[in-house]
Amino acid sequence: MAQQARAAQTRQQIIVGAAKLFSRVGYERARLNDIVGETGLTRGAIYFHFQSKDDLAKIVVDEFATKSIEAVATIAETGECGMCQIAMLNREMGRLLTVDPVVRAGIRLVIELNSGEAPVPVYLAWIEALKYLVSRGIDEGDVRPGVTPEDGAVFITEAFVGAQVLSHAVSGLDDLPARIDRLTGFLLNGLMPDERLAARPEIGDARLAAALG
Amino acid sequence: MAQQARAAQTRQQIIVGAAKLFSRVGYERARLNDIVGETGLTRGAIYFHFQSKDDLAKIVVDEFATKSIEAVATIAETGECGMCQIAMLNREMGRLLTVDPVVRAGIRLVIELNSGEAPVPVYLAWIEALKYLVSRGIDEGDVRPGVTPEDGAVFITEAFVGAQVLSHAVSGLDDLPARIDRLTGFLLNGLMPDERLAARPEIGDARLAAALG
């Protein structure tokens, strides 16, 4: 049992080390040897857990996807309105990016590994989660007439992904939290009638930490 | 002189052939031999004009960037309002994509070749052009208070780039014109106060062909 716990801890240590390297140099230039250096473990220990760099990159992306969906679930528990949750989700992704190396590496890897040959699972998961929130916003009377849950969810995802791509190109993702901050206002204006947003301008500043605490 | 014209024609034939191949199979899988097949020219003729696949990809991207900036200039000549020109520009990019192999390949190559190591020149050119149009929209009273030309231009570019990335992943860019159509409405709502857009709902349908004709 102690051995199992140690193995799980080593595995996580490798994932975080790999994530730090991926976010610093990107997928192409990351070498398994540098991951060895980053984690302080032996090459053998790493190969015991992972087959290849590709394998590690996939796991970092999966953990990033899981964390983003966990954020959706945690935010749902606040019971706040649909549009509030959308604003919170944007801000929470910006926050996670600055504190969690797996999220930072995951965003970079999804952009770099997107071959355009197949839908990207994490984008599809975001669209599904957002469809539910837009649909809730529609029920709450907070969404412009004619906007479907699908169209609203796709708009948010497109804008969010575009902000990631531009931030990646311009600042290596450093400026993404500030971009998300600015984007949130445009997203709410794009989705909500002016008089609804004017009645509750605090929606634009919704933050998970504030709602929890 | 006739020889020079023939050389220019051959060069263009190679660029279009390469563009068709790049948009079908992407940068990685495109082989110079397949470009030979696509153009019907000899390998020697191609090497006379271009050094490598990388060289050809860069020229396709440059021509795409030039065409998108030409669209900005043509649309400026209509003299329509800033927000009208933004809507026209979105729609015109969707149209060009379906009729011009160089534009279609250029959009794909920009996404595929974006290493995140340096700002992408075509994105910077779009942001500059859009800053001017948002600024004009501000002068015309069509932009929400507090929105700067820079923030508005970045928002439009982020959303447009995100739509390209998702369309590339989901449909190989086939669904991009429909995505742009849907996106244009959200962009205008994001940028314009409701009462200004309600007063001129036709802005959402602005098209270059209609303005010219």
Helices (H), B77-207: 82-99, 101-113, 121-139, 149-171, 176-191, 194-199
| A169, part of any domain | yes
Give the pLDDT of residue A14. Answer: 94
DSSP code at position B118: S
Please state the rounded mean pLDDT for residues B61-69.
Answer: 95
Q: What is the pLDDT along chain A (213 residues), one digit of tens a residue?
A: 688 899 899 999 999 999 999 998 889 889 988 988 888 899 898 999 998 899 999 999 999 999 999 999 999 999 999 999 999 999 999 899 989 999 999 998 988 887 667 788 999 999 999 999 999 999 999 999 999 999 999 999 999 999 999 998 888 899 999 999 999 999 999 999 999 999 999 998 888 888 776
Tokens of residue A58, six digits? 């996939």
Can you state the percent helix, strand and coil of chain B, rounding each to 5? 80, 0, 20
User: Count of alpha carbons within 13 Å of A101, Cβ hemisphere only?
Assistant: 16
Please state the rounded mean pLDDT for residues B118-131.
Answer: 92
Q: Which of B116, B151, B190 sits opposite A168 (nearest CB)?
A: B116
* Placement of tokens 């250029």 in the chain: B106
Whether residue B187 lies within 8 A of chain A, CB to CB, comes out as yes
| A180, part of any domain | yes
Using an 8 Å Cβ cutoff, are A173 and A24 in contact? Answer: no
Residue A92's domain comprises: 54-212
Tokens of residue B82, six digits? 């800033």
By CA distance, what is A185's nearest residue in B? B190
Chain A / chain B CB contacts < 8 angstroms? 113
Contacts A196 to B, Cβ<8 Å = none
Distance from CA of B134 to the nearest CA of A (A): 14
- Rounded Cα distance between A156 and B124, Å, is 22
Q: What is the pLDDT of residues B11-30, one digit of tens each?
A: 999 999 999 999 988 898 89
pLDDT exceeds cutoff 80 at B115: no
Q: Is A166 close to B157, i.e. CB distance below 8 A?
A: yes
User: Count of alpha carbons within 13 Å of A188, Cβ hemisphere only?
Assistant: 30
Tokens of residue A170, six digits? 């311009």
Give the pLDDT of residue A91. Answer: 92
Name the helix (H) or strand (E) containing A91: helix A82-99
- Rounded Cα distance between A67 and A105, Å, is 12
Contacts A165 to B, Cβ<8 Å = 111, 114, 158, 161-162, 165
| B185, part of any domain | yes
| B41, part of any domain | no
- Neighbour-count burial for B82-102, b at 16+ CB within 10 Å, e otherwise: bbbbbbbbbbbbbbbbeebbb
Using an 8 Å Cβ cutoff, are A63 and A55 in contact? Answer: no
| B123, part of any domain | yes
- Rounded Cα distance between A112 and B116, Å, is 8
Q: Is A183 close to B158, i.e. CB distance below 8 A?
A: yes
Q: What is the CATH number of the domain that holds B199?
A: 1.10.357.10
Using an 8 Å Cβ cutoff, are A43 and A11 in contact? Answer: no
Residue B70 burial class via C-beta count within 10 angstroms: exposed 0-12, middle 13-18, buried 19 and up: exposed
| B37, part of any domain | no
pLDDT exceeds cutoff 80 at B118: no
DSSP string, A10-67: HHHHHHHHHHHHHHHHHHHH--HHHHHHHHT--HHHHHHH-S-HHHHHHHHHHHHHHH
| B36, part of any domain | no
Give the pLDDT of residue B80. Answer: 95
Whether residue B201 lies within 8 A of chain A, CB to CB, comes out as no
pLDDT exceeds cutoff 70 at B106: yes
As a whole number of Å, the end-to-end CA separation of chain B is 36
Give the pLDDT of residue B168. Answer: 87
Tokens of residue B62, six digits? 């440059």
Give the pLDDT of residue A89. Answer: 95
Banded model confidence at residue B1, pLDDT cuts 50, 70, 90: low
Tell me, rounded to whole angstroms, the distance of Cα B176 from its chain centroid: 11
Residue A119: how many CB atoms within 10 A of its CB?
14
Using an 8 Å Cβ cutoff, are B189 and A190 in contact? Answer: yes
Name the helix (H) or strand (E) containing A76: helix A53-76
In whole numbers, what is the pLDDT of chain B averaged over residues? 92
**Phi, psi for A30 (deg, rounded to 5):** -75, 130
Using an 8 Å Cβ cutoff, are B206 and B88 in contact? Answer: yes
Inter-axis angle of helices A149-171 and B149-171, to 10 degrees? 110
- Rounded Cα distance between A8 and A5, Å, is 5
Q: What is the pLDDT of residues B141-165, one digit of tens each?
A: 999 999 999 999 999 999 999 999 9
Using an 8 Å Cβ cutoff, are A86 and A205 in contact? Answer: no
Using an 8 Å Cβ cutoff, are A203 and A87 in contact? Answer: yes
Predicted ipTM of the assembly: 0.92
Q: How many domains does chain B have?
A: 1
Q: What is the pLDDT of residues B80-98, one digit of tens each?
A: 999 999 999 999 998 999 8
Give the pLDDT of residue A1. Answer: 66
Percent of chain B with pLDDT over 70: 98
| B29, part of any domain | no
Whether residue B190 lies within 8 A of chain A, CB to CB, comes out as yes
Of A114, A111, A73, which is closest to residue A92 (Cα–Cα)?
A: A73
- Which amino acid makes up residue B149? P
Q: What is the pLDDT of residues B44-57, one digit of tens each?
A: 989 999 988 999 99
pLDDT exceeds cutoff 90 at B175: yes
